[in-house]
Structure 1
């Protein structure tokens, strides 16, 4: 499948990316890909091993004349975000990703593409098999479960990696080098909320909010994109005039993806059905006017609940009102811009996953910041807010940020290589996304690190796409940098 990738340049990178597309690899299901890569390494005679968590390392000896160069680690994560449009019946644990070329971009058909971080992994594999790159001792580190919990990086074995220079290949803009990133954690809220039986005078309606663009909860958080959970909470808040009670709610599927869809079922007096239907129709026009061009497919609909799906219970009126109020008031999006780095988001929160079923409420938000103290403060605000409705909130899967080092020798070499190859210096940036560099640096404090990659837009959504031309530039730059490091340190 995806034979057309073989016609793209650079051929070695796209050949490996085709393997990744054809091998299902959502977070937590990377085992089949790991086995393929180990067999591939055996065929090339390359040493490989895994740590206790399952992270994979493949090693390649230094090229002749570069034996004394410091070791270089090229690093990426094997898993991908599993997001599909509602009309796309895709099983990410079994089905390959179907791709297509359109106007110079590679896209998937109705699903995430997996260019994040598949192209970084593909480039690392191409580097391992290359015979024309003069390099020092080389290690390729492939981590697991980055997209769901940073689990691979968090559980990475200490005193395992040997190199002193790390090239993270998980950035998503050509012409840029990243030297710092936000840290973060999951804010998880759970509650058991009281229900009462539906009354004979009540009827049920289903409200669906669909068609938002979605996006990466770090890199896209500053963009004018609608968050389905925030918008549907606003809709529900405006329906309180009808004594509507929540029956169920399902919004978002990943805490690190800006949610594109949310669905709620409500119970309300039968004599309010027409008023609520008219209100929702009016709200659709209002919200459409507020949303930006990216969310032009937005739709808000209301339909009577099917006869066979009518529930017997809903949250009581007070519990429903308090939950909707808490969701409506919860911080979402950019909380603060950086005072130290112009144009960079300092702190944000993404209301990623919201669920209510049979009175059990669950929320998983992703809080990010350049300051660990700000992460803790925002989690505490969520704890205080949802504590008012009797919910329990806790922080999970925390990971540190990556403190920038503008004087990095590795950065200086990258800038020299970039200018020599492309005729211009790269932009040096700090990213609001949670790169694994912060965690890796906490386990290996001696590492000098940078992050770079090709241009990928719409990551974490079915609109994900990669600029094909930028991949060629990325590959040429990776080879030039590795060779420059070998020459500088291996003379």
Structure 2
């Protein structure tokens, strides 16, 4: 909207302009993936996709989706087993890039941890396991439908209650509303073959998750991370969908190797798709220096120059336009990419003033 307003305005001082509009930034960046060399004539790009006024971004992480698939066979549930549903809820969740360093619980991993620790002693047999909704969101909820001997129901309730106490002790400073409970469930008609169930639980528990490495170059910024985002169960397979992020390609490749190794050890398959590059910070960026000086002249303070552990389209723009000088800034937006998304109206005016001033101050190219 800001870009279109600039084009429509008759009273803004600026040089030659072109506006790049993309689709699907929230879900897959398919528009940015489609950009080709030779389409754009400019050599400076002002990306209007940042979410905190007073911050300007000069780099971001790249990423890739990883999917571990565990093939499963089914068998009839023995008549002496009863059904139950294990549920983990109440976690904060959050963005798998911006919030990955906060130590928030991952519901998928927490459920896998319990199953790995207690499935054998309780005689649990899995019918299905489900968790998370988006690969780029830390999962808040997960559940498993199981069958087990009726005589072990009380023990299951006791262990699950104890597990909540343990998680409260471990994560209580971050997660204040952890809720673990067991629902009554009809006996499932079929369960996973025991060997396949064991492979699935092992691969879920062993899968790395969270911050893998902090950046050596940029203090306080995550370099590489992994989010075990979504688990889905179908008739003949269970899929664990992860999102790897890294500021450097070698970091991403390293975690790809981790996932492949875990999958191979469990007799599962692992595939990667949707890779997008990071945006490497350029300390000599002329547009960044111009923005900093302009902002300082306007407000008497220096903006926070940032690198974000999340995907911005700038990383994709750099591929066909490697020499383009870029930055990203914008108004304050809360709860982005969610039904609760909202913008701070006061900061929209500040953002507009900054855009107008930057366009005016970009020197004529000779």
TM-score range, shorter chain: over 0.9
Deviates more, 1:349-358 or 1:237-246: 237-246
Do the aligned residues in 2 keep the contact of 1:213 with 1:463 (CA within 8 Å)?
Answer: no
Partners in 1 of 2:99 and 2:86 — Cα distance?
26
Alignment of 1:71-82 (within 5 A): none
Question: How much has 1:459 moved relative to structure 2?
Answer: 3.4
Partners in 2 of 1:127 and 1:246 — Cα distance?
58
Do the aligned residues in 2 keep the contact of 1:257 with 1:461 (CA within 8 Å)?
Answer: no
Partners in 2 of 1:215 and 1:463 — Cα distance?
13
Give the counterpart of 2:144 among 261, 264, 271.
264
Deviations 1:62-85 (A, max 9, x none): xxxxxxxxxxxxxxxxxxxxxxxx
Residue 364 of structure 2 is matched in structure 1 by 489
Question: Are 1:352 and 2:232 an aligned pair?
Answer: no
Using the size of structure 2 for normalisation, the TM-score is 0.93
Larger RCO: 1 or 2 (CA < 8 Å, sep 6+)? 2
Task: Give unmatched runs, 5+ long, in structure 2.
Answer: none
Question: Are 1:176 and 2:55 an aligned pair?
Answer: yes
Do the aligned residues in 1 keep the contact of 2:26 with 2:337 (CA within 8 Å)?
Answer: no
Give the counterpart of 1:273 among 150, 153, 158.
153
- Distance of aligned partners of 1:351 and 1:131 in 2 relative to their CA distance in 1, 3 Å threshold: same
Do the aligned residues in 2 keep the contact of 1:244 with 1:317 (CA within 8 Å)?
Answer: no
Do the aligned residues in 2 keep the contact of 1:136 with 1:490 (CA within 8 Å)?
Answer: no
Residue 414 of structure 1 is matched in structure 2 by 291
Do the aligned residues in 2 keep the contact of 1:214 with 1:461 (CA within 8 Å)?
Answer: no
Partners in 2 of 1:328 and 1:391 — Cα distance?
14
Residue 145 of structure 1 is matched in structure 2 by 24
- Distance of aligned partners of 1:299 and 1:466 in 2 relative to their CA distance in 1, 3 Å threshold: farther
Question: How much has 1:292 moved relative to structure 2?
Answer: 4.6
DSSP-derived class of the 1:489 partner: coil
Question: How much has 1:198 moved relative to structure 2?
Answer: 0.6
Task: Give unmatched runs, 5+ long, in structure 1.
Answer: 1-121
Deviations 1:292-322 (A, max 9, x none): 56533332111111x4xx4211112232222
Question: Are 1:163 and 2:39 an aligned pair?
Answer: no
Partners in 2 of 1:228 and 1:468 — Cα distance?
35
What's the RMSD between the two structures over aligned residues?
Answer: 2.0
Partners in 1 of 2:338 and 2:93 — Cα distance?
6
Deviations 1:321-377 (A, max 9, x none): 221121112111100001111111110001111112323111211101111011111
DSSP-derived class of the 2:208 partner: coil
Do the aligned residues in 1 keep the contact of 2:70 with 2:200 (CA within 8 Å)?
Answer: no
Residue 130 of structure 1 is matched in structure 2 by 9
Using the size of structure 1 for normalisation, the TM-score is 0.70
- Counting matched residue pairs gives 365
Deviations 1:206-229 (A, max 9, x none): 122122222111111111222121
Question: Are 1:226 and 2:105 an aligned pair?
Answer: yes
Residue 479 of structure 1 is matched in structure 2 by 356
Deviations 1:139-160 (A, max 9, x none): 2222122233322212223311
